[in-house]
């Protein structure tokens, strides 16, 4: 499931949320993937979680 996030420079990108291992606030939001790659994004950890939750809900709706 892909979610849209924004780099600190405002550029948007798609991230496969199923590869997220951790989301930290340091104070920038740092997303670490299962392959140890890190992304710093504009969204707060809470906003990232909402995007993941919405993607899951939309995916379930599409499967019905």
DSSP class per residue in 16-59? EGGGEEEEEESSSEEEEETTS-EEEESS-HHHHHHHHHHHHHHH
Domain that holds residue 32: 2-63
pLDDT of residue 24: 98
pLDDT of residue 64: 45
pLDDT of residue 1: 87
- Overall number of domains in the chain: 1
Global pTM? Answer: 0.88
pLDDT (tens place) for every residue of the chain, 64 residues total: 899 999 999 999 999 999 999 999 999 999 999 999 999 999 999 999 999 999 988 876 544 4
pLDDT of residue 58: 84
């Amino acid at each position: 499931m892909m979610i849209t996030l924004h780099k600190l420079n405002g550029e948007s990108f798609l991230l496969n949320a199923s590869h997220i291992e951790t989301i930290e606030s340091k104070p920038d939001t740092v997303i670490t993937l299962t392959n140890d790659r890190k992304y710093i994004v504009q969204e707060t950890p809470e906003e990232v979680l909402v995007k993941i939750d919405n993607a899951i809900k939309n995916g379930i709706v599409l499967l019905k």
